[in-house]
Amino acid sequence: MPRYALKIDYHGRPFAGWQRQSGQPSVQDAVETALRKLEADAPGIAAAGRTDAGVHATGQVAHCDLAKDWDPFRLSEALNWHLKPAPVAILKAARVPDDFHARFSAIERRYLFRLIARRAPLTHEAGLAWRVLTPLDADAMREGAAHLVGHHDFTTFRSTMCQAQSPVKTLDEITITDHDIPHGREYRFFLRARSFLHNQVRSIVGTLERVGAGAWAPGDVRTALEAKDRAACGPVCPPEGLYLTGVRYPEDPFG
């Protein structure tokens, strides 16, 4: 069966997450339902990352096997037709080798977290960013984040429900930008690694927000990391500011 990679964009708010769940809407189920409108016997699909409820994606990657030899552009157009009105879009489809696997072939994943500081509730950005009331110290957050870059035991920043075999990961990058917006200020956290633990990004951002608010000193982040204890973590921030923005492979399946 020909194998195809799909680059997927979605708004996570209506979904219980990427992964198919009994009795709850999921992004995986939406895409698989659309695929079965094209081929009734299409098997299930696999994705690069199992995003949680409320988490968004602008560059999720999944792969599927189909009986028909589809033109990739026509496949993406047909899927987008059947995905309506769900907030899910196939940005691109590509034919890939039979040994390509969206999850296991990936060598890097990139996430963005958006945090907006403003007194007024969010309107246009509601569900797309985490809102806090007061501005944060971006330099202090950058200083705290520097303790997390590299090869570490991230037990402190790992969900107790995480199924990864090891808490040891290499975090290649945390970049924090900030800029003024109407009636507030937006902070963006860019994180890059081969793979992440369950809730790792949200745990890190929630902890760094405490640093930015002045409740933690930047060095407290290192202390929390070295504790290797989930109880030492700061608050886990809400999911609506988190985006899976890209997945990298040894060869770009989308050219």
- Residue 137 vs residues 58, 59, 76: alpha-carbon distances, Å: 28, 29, 43
136 contacts 213 by C-beta, under 8 angstroms: yes
For residue 113 the two structure tokens come to: 């977290």
Measured in degrees and rounded to the nearest 5, phi and psi for residue 210 equal: -65, -35
C-alpha 114/C-alpha 130 separation (Å) is 6
124 by Cβ neighbours in 10 Å (0-12 / 13-18 / 19+) ranks as exposed
Question: What is the predicted pLDDT for the residue at 162?
Answer: 87
C-alpha 8/C-alpha 137 separation (Å) is 34
Percent of the chain that is helix, strand, coil (3-state, to 5): 25, 30, 45
Question: What is the predicted pLDDT for the residue at 75?
Answer: 98
C-alpha 141/C-alpha 128 separation (Å) is 21
Catalytic-role residue among 9, 29, 52, 69: 52
Helix (H) or strand (E) holding 201: helix 200-212
Residue spans per domain, the chain: 3-105, 108-246
C-alpha 35/C-alpha 30 separation (Å) is 9
Look up the CATH architecture of domain 3-105. 2-Layer Sandwich (3.30)
Q: What is the CA radius of gyration of the chain?
A: 19
Closest CA to 145 of 56, 225, 91, 237: 225
Fold match flag (3-105 vs 108-246): yes
Residue 147 CB: number of other CB atoms within 10 A? Answer: 18
Residue 89 CB: number of other CB atoms within 10 A? Answer: 16
Q: Which residues contact 23 (CB under 8 A, 6 or more apart)?
A: none
C-alpha 149/C-alpha 192 separation (Å) is 10
pLDDT along the chain (255 residues), means of 10: 96 96 94 97 94 97 96 98 98 98 98 98 96 98 98 96 92 98 96 97 98 98 98 96 98 95
Catalytic residue at 99? Answer: no
Provide the whole-model pTM.
0.96
Q: Which residues pair with 170 in a beta bridge?
A: 151
For residue 178 the two structure tokens come to: 């900030």
Strand locations in the chain, DSSP E?
3-10, 46-47, 56-65, 88-96, 108-117, 130-132, 150-153, 168-181, 184-193, 242-248
**Domain 108-246 CATH (choose: 3.40.50.720, 3.30.70.660, 1.10.540.10, 3.40.309.10):** 3.30.70.660
Provide the CB-side half-sphere exposure for 51 (13 A, CA). Answer: 38
Q: Which residues contact 84 (CB under 8 A, 6 or more apart)?
A: none
Question: What is the predicted pLDDT for the residue at 161?
Answer: 87
Measured in degrees and rounded to the nearest 5, phi and psi for residue 77 equal: -65, -40
